[in-house]
Amino acid sequence: MTVNVDSLEDVLVLDGGLSTALEGMGYRVDGPLWTGELLLNDPEAIVRAHRAFVEAGADIIITGSYQVSFAGGDRLGISADDIERALRNSTTAARKAADEATLVAASVGPYGAFLNDGSEFRGRYGVTAAALREFHARRLDVLLDTQPDLLAIETIPDLDEAAIVLSLLAERDSETPFWVSFTVSEPGIVSGGGSFAEACDLVSEHSLALAVGINCSPLDVITPTLRGVETELPFVVYPNAGQSWDSSAMAWRGDPRWANDAELREWAELGSRIIGGCCGYAPRDIAANRH
C-alpha cells in the first residue's frame, strides 16, 4: 500500500500498547523480550492482540518487534536465527490481523530497549556511534525485507540515535515511508537532550518521512511541545497512560490517565494526523479515541 504525507488529510487512528492488550488477554509479557517471547512461542496470540485493535478501529497497527534485537538475543542466549524468526513473525502476525485497509508499521525501537533499564527515557547511552549503527543495521535489514507498509521508528530518546537510523535508511535506498517519534521529558525537550524543534528539523530532511512526533511520554508535555514548533511534517502522537516507568521493579507507577476528547481535538488542530496510545492503552481506549 502506498502512503505519503499528502495522503494524510484526515486523522488516522493508531493502535495502543501491544503488551497491554496481551496482558488483558491473560498473557504475561514481563520477560526481557516482552512480546518477543510470544513471537517465538505463540505468534497466534500476537495476531489476536493486533486483531483486537483492528476491531477497535485502528487504521495502523505497530508490530511487536520493538524489544527484539540481535544484541538482546546475544545477552539472553537466543540464537540469531531465532531473533530473525521473531522479527519476521512480527510483520506476519500483524498482516494476519489486518484488514485490507489496515496499515502495518514495523516497530524500530531504540538501543535503550534491550538494556531493559528505562534507557529509552534517558538516552545518551555512553556507547559509540559505531555500536549504535551495528545494533540497528541488521535488524533494520530484516524488517525492511518483510515489506511493512511503514516503519515506526519509535521511543527514540536521542537525536544522535535518530540520525544514525535515518542514515542507515538512506544508505539502503529504502522506499518504505516512516515516522520518527521521540520520548519527551519536559515540554519541548527530547529525553536525551536537544529540542523537539531540532528533532523535527532532522526528520524533515528525509523525503520519505511521513510524520514526526512523540510517544510513550506523559500527557502534560504533548500539547506545549507541539505548540512550540513549526514543521511541514504532520505529527504522530501516542502517549502512555500517564504513568512513569520504574525500571528496578519493571512496572508502571502512578495512577493512569488517558487522553480526553479535548486533548485529542487539540492535537489534531495542531497538526497531528496519526493519534493513538502507547503503554497502558488497551483496545477499548483506542475505540474511545476513534469516536
DSSP class of 126: S
Give me the CATH code for the 5-290 domain, please: 3.20.20.330
Residue 154 dihedral angles phi and psi, to the nearest 5°: -130, 160
Residue 32 has a pLDDT of 82
Residue 63 dihedral angles phi and psi, to the nearest 5°: -65, 165
Percent of the chain, pLDDT > 90?
Answer: 78
Residue 5, pLDDT > 50, answer no
Q: pLDDT tens, 214-237?
A: 999 989 999 999 999 999 999 999
Q: Smallest Cα–Cα separation from 192: which of 237, 243, 155, 140?
A: 155
SS3 content of the chain, % helix, strand, coil (to 5): 45, 20, 40
pLDDT band at 169 (very low <50, low <70, confident <90, very high): very high
Amino acid at 173: D
pLDDT band at 29 (very low <50, low <70, confident <90, very high): confident
Greater confidence (70 vs 122) lies with: 70
Residue 1 has a pLDDT of 38
Greater confidence (245 vs 280) lies with: 280
Q: Smallest Cα–Cα separation from 90: which of 40, 27, 34?
A: 40
Per the DSSP assignment, residues forming a β-bridge with 212 are: 180, 235
Where residue 155 falls (left for φ over 0; alpha for ψ -120 to 50; beta otherwise) is: left
Residue 124's contacts (CB-CB under 8 Å, 6 or more residues apart) are: 157, 158, 192, 193
Name the helix (H) or strand (E) containing 13: strand 12-13
Residue 94 dihedral angles phi and psi, to the nearest 5°: -65, -40
Q: Smallest Cα–Cα separation from 71: which of 138, 130, 117?
A: 138
231 C-beta neighbours (distance < 10 Å), count: 18
Between CA 158 and CA 263 the distance in angstroms is: 26
Residue 243 has a pLDDT of 57
> Residue ranges of the domains in the chain?
5-290
Residue with cell string 512496572: 251
Q: Using an 8 Å Cβ cutoff, are 267 and 237 in contact?
A: yes
Q: Using an 8 Å Cβ cutoff, are 208 and 168 in contact?
A: no
* Helix 129-145 and helix 159-171, axial crossing angle in degrees, nearest 10: 50
Residue 248, pLDDT > 70, answer no
